[in-house]
Amino acid sequence: MAKPKKTPRPKAEPPKGFRDYFGAEVTERQAMLETIAEVYRRYGFDPLESSGVETVEALGKFLPDVDRPNEGVFAWEEDETWLALRYDLTAPLARVYAQFRNDLPTPYRRYAMGPVWRNEKPGPGRFRQFYQCDADTVGSASMAADAEICAMLAEALEAVGIPRGDYVVRVNNRKVLNGVMEVAGILDPTDPDRFATERGIVLRAIDKLDRLGPEGVRALLGPGRKDESGDYTEGAKLGDEQAGIIMAFTEAKRTDGAATLKALETLVSGSENGQNSVSELSAIAELLGAQGLGEDRIVIDPSVVRGLGYYTGPVYEAELTFEISDEKGRPRQFGSVAGGGRYDDLVKRFTGQEVPATGISIGVDRLLAALRAKGRIGGAAEGPVVVTVMDRDRMAEYQALAAELRGAGIRAEVYLGNPKNFGNQLKYADKRQSPVAIIEGEDEKARGVVQIKDLVLGAKIAESASHEEWKAQPAQFEAPRADVVAEVKRLLGQGR
């Protein structure tokens, strides 16, 4: 009789495209999000936590991967309804506003932070679950709402540690490009669906300008492009004159905003919608200038188009301008960490009526990586003070000592492993990156004192001191039991 097969043990690893986050990574993210939230609150925005699961119908098909409009989400069927994990925080906002619009103020300013999920092919630094940090204004068609979002984004970047000169918020208007495409003959105002395929290719091509360069974009506007791997991407098949008009749009940025706006006005001459959209950009620039946000922080840049299909007006992108080294040691700019724009048609899917809206989304993991690259975060995280256990029968007393430290606002814990080997307790404290260890044996208890071990100083001494200096134990001293909180505070306050 054949032996029954043993059930294989599950692999102790997350699914492909997912990862775990430990200690400092989590606390650094929380600290950054709290800083950004404080900026948003100062601008009058309220927090919103929407459901992580939505109906597929409510989410809509607005993923960046337009070549797979029915893919890209983690979805399942339940009671004849398809549900999915949210792929961003904007589509759920549209559903929330449509559902509660009679109870919410208009305009409604909200911010949201949390994980989103995309069922896409993972790659280096690209995961299927990641954090976003959004701020949106729903119910205002005023360009003041767009200017406010841009100003708030600039302030948030500076608040978390990206100084002026290391970032720029680039602003454009999708309707300007619509005017350019109207002039180029691939947009018919009387038949919006005509040339839709060509326009989609044009949008995606311009959005890849930084990566492909002018020559690559020009190829995608024409017959198409073959990449280094041999894969061929179909082009928009525009004529030379048409492609020239589009390329002139991407090259319309001048040395200052006024000159750029003048160049755009010339390009959209003959398109009423295009002329109006240039006026909207001009209004945003004027509003930002009135708030003291000059072109050292926010600029008009026609190359920004954003990939998502629901943008209907102004679009924004925050780019970090400092250099880092790639995996091969080559210098490159860090790139984009946030993007957004106006999406006046998104709520309309639920209500049938146009509801103006605009917003921004910060890529949390990208921004954290930038802060690490700048050295603003990523140092060794300080662990808790460890109260060692010299007598397991006195565990209650050790717990009381730790509670006393916590009551004073000091992070502290009692060693809960086997206390028999004291060296293991100190190894544990070292692994926890503890700054201080508290020692109270029978002798110390009888004399009303404790031993306080400065583990940070001890580590420094161990690196360079002689054997005699190390034996002298300068990193460990005795203090009255009543003074333990004050002494620990003193050590932790030395800014080491």
**Looking at residues 375-401, what average pLDDT do you find?**
89
Confidence of residue 470 (pLDDT cuts 50, 70, 90): very low
Asked whether the CA dihedral 160, 163, 165, 166 is positive or negative, the reply is negative
451 with 486, same domain: the answer is yes
The residues, ordered by sequence, that sit 6+ positions from 410 with a Cβ below 8 Å of its Cβ are 385, 485, 488, 489, 492
30 with 151, same domain: the answer is yes
Query: Is residue 266 scored above 50 in pLDDT?
Result: yes
* Residues spanned by the domain of 444: 385-492
Domain assignment present for residue 106? The answer is: yes
pLDDT of residue 68: 45
Collapsed DSSP state (helix, strand, coil) of residue 324: strand
Collapsed DSSP state (helix, strand, coil) of residue 361: strand
Query: Is residue 308 scored above 90 in pLDDT?
Result: no
Out of 326, 343, 373, pick the residue that ends a domain: 373
The residues, ordered by sequence, that sit 6+ positions from 171 with a Cβ below 8 Å of its Cβ are 146, 150, 281, 284, 285, 298, 299, 300, 301, 304, 314, 315, 316
346 with 401, same domain: the answer is no
Q: Letter for the amino acid at 252?
A: A
The residues, ordered by sequence, that sit 6+ positions from 279 with a Cβ below 8 Å of its Cβ are none
**Looking at residues 114-125, what average pLDDT do you find?**
87
Confidence of residue 265 (pLDDT cuts 50, 70, 90): very high
Query: Is residue 415 scored above 90 in pLDDT?
Result: yes
| DSSP 8-state code for residue 87 | S
Q: How far apart are CA 215 and CA 207, in angstroms?
A: 14
Out of 373, 395, 422, pick the residue that ends a domain: 373
Domain assignment present for residue 13? The answer is: no
CA distances from 437 to 169, 415, 420, 432 (A): 47, 10, 17, 11
Question: What is the share, in percent, of the chain residues with pLDDT greater than 70?
Answer: 93
Q: How far apart are CA 481 and CA 466, in angstroms?
A: 31
Confidence of residue 381 (pLDDT cuts 50, 70, 90): confident
Give the pLDDT confidence of 267-283 residue by residue, as tens digits.
999 899 899 999 999 99
pLDDT of residue 382: 84
Hey, what are 148's tokens? 């406010």
| DSSP 8-state code for residue 450 | E
Q: Which of 179, 41, 39, 45 is nearest to 107 (CA)?
A: 45
Domain assignment present for residue 380? The answer is: no
Domain assignment present for residue 16? The answer is: no
| DSSP 8-state code for residue 119 | B
| DSSP 8-state code for residue 428 | H
Count: domains in the chain:
2
104 with 241, same domain: the answer is yes
270 with 126, same domain: the answer is yes
Domain assignment present for residue 4? The answer is: no
CATH number of the domain residue 460 falls in: 3.40.50.800
pLDDT of residue 103: 97
149 with 118, same domain: the answer is yes
401 with 469, same domain: the answer is yes
363 with 415, same domain: the answer is no
Hey, what are 275's tokens? 């002329």
Average pLDDT over the chain, rounded to an integer: 90
User: H/E element holding 235?
Assistant: none
Query: Is residue 335 scored above 90 in pLDDT?
Result: no
Hey, what are 402's tokens? 């730790």
Contact 16, 119 (CB under 8 A): no
| DSSP 8-state code for residue 348 | H
Give the pLDDT confidence of 205-217 residue by residue, as tens digits.
888 888 889 999 9
**Looking at residues 164-171, what average pLDDT do you find?**
95
343 with 451, same domain: the answer is no
**Looking at residues 388-405, what average pLDDT do you find?**
96
Q: 42-56, 70-84, 176-190, 372-386 — which one is most confidently predicted on average? A: 42-56
Hey, what are 210's tokens? 């930084």
What pTM value is reported for the model?
0.83
397 with 329, same domain: the answer is no
CATH number of the domain residue 65 falls in: 3.30.930.10
Out of 321, 343, 373, pick the residue that ends a domain: 373
Contact 257, 299 (CB under 8 A): yes
Domain assignment present for residue 122? The answer is: yes
pLDDT of residue 67: 47
Domain assignment present for residue 210? The answer is: yes
42 with 142, same domain: the answer is yes
Among 107-111, 316-320, 462-466, the least confident range: 462-466
Q: Give me the sheet containing 385-387, strands edge to edge.
A: 412-414, 385-387, 436-439, 449-454, 476-480
Number of residues that this document lists for the chain: 496
305 with 408, same domain: the answer is no
Hey, what are 323's tokens? 């250099």
The residues, ordered by sequence, that sit 6+ positions from 101 with a Cβ below 8 Å of its Cβ are 351, 355
Other CB atoms within a 10 A radius of the CB of residue 443 amount to 10
pLDDT of residue 267: 92
**Looking at residues 77-88, what average pLDDT do you find?**
91
Give the pLDDT confidence of 199-242 residue by residue, as tens digits.
889 888 888 888 889 999 999 999 999 888 778 889 999 999 99
Domain assignment present for residue 486? The answer is: yes
